[in-house]
Amino acid sequence: MRFDLVTLFPEFFTSPLTTGLMGRAIARGIAEVHCTNPRDFTTDKHRKVDDEPYGGGVGMVMKPEPIVAALNSLPPCDRSETIYFSPQGQPMTQELFRELVRDRDRLILLCGHYEGVDERVMGWVDREISLGDFVLTCGEIPALALLNGTIRLLPGTVGKTASIAADSFEDGLLDYPHYTRPPVFEGLEVPPVLLSGNHQAIATWRRQQQLDRTRSRRPDLLARHDPSPTAPPPDAQP
């Protein structure tokens, strides 16, 4: 899957795209990421990408000409979508990540700055997406979150695909708690059921933990979900 980042600060992505799962996925050709800088498409000697807003007000607005020229320079792709990051956009969710991976071969991620982009740029945008109900200094931060959330879903990125199926939000519930060695740490013991070797009992315990955690921490999710309390999670063994 191809990702095109339209950003004034390509260096923002240097470390994240060369480390961890994302770095390995890119190195193996599972995903490819390209950066295009609107500043390279300016025509004035100062390479100006922003200007004062019409009508007055504080802050600066990104000019439409360099952005649209940068977007138009990208190679064509039939199953492509251009995304602009904005607090006014659709909330970023796990369901959205799955949709983008399933339905698109290329994502163009437009990263705004200052007070945002000239509204006329929206004619080249397919969808606005928000990381949450707050304001950030740049669109690179939500772009990186979307990159991470989608690349990890691409086949071959995560070694054990069952671990993805058991993640929070994959079945509408939060994840269950996880434990590893040692069995006792600072007087805190691992729940005995996890040491029992009884896979059905472990599956039941994990499902109940998902329900309890979701009920106490995100009751809004539970209101949209009606799972069976005894249904095993996706990674349960027979």
Sorted by where each starts, the structural domains of the chain and their CATH numbers stand as: 2-151 (3.40.1280.10), 161-223 (1.10.1270.20)
115 counts as catalytic: yes
> Average pLDDT for residues 17-43, to the nearest whole number?
97
Pairing assessment for the beta strands 50-51 and 61-62 based on DSSP bridges: antiparallel
Contact criterion met (CB below 8 Å) for 19 and 145: no
Question: Is 87 a residue of the active site?
Answer: yes
Question: Of 65, 115, 128, 171, which one is the catalytic site residue?
Answer: 115
The active-site residue, picked from 50, 140, 142, 152, is 152
Identify whether 152 is a catalytic site residue.
Answer: yes
Residue of 65, 128, 167, 175 marked catalytic: 167
The tens digit of pLDDT for each residue in 75-114 reads 999 999 999 999 999 999 999 999 999 999 999 999 999 9
DSSP, res 71: H
Question: What is the C-alpha separation between 177 and 210, in angstroms, rounded?
Answer: 8
The pLDDT tens digits of the residues spanning 203-226 come to 999 999 999 999 999 999 888 765
Helix (H, G, I), strand (E, B) or coil at 146: helix
Say which of 10, 64, 87, 232 is annotated catalytic.
87
10 is catalytic: no
Q: What is the pTM of this model?
A: 0.85
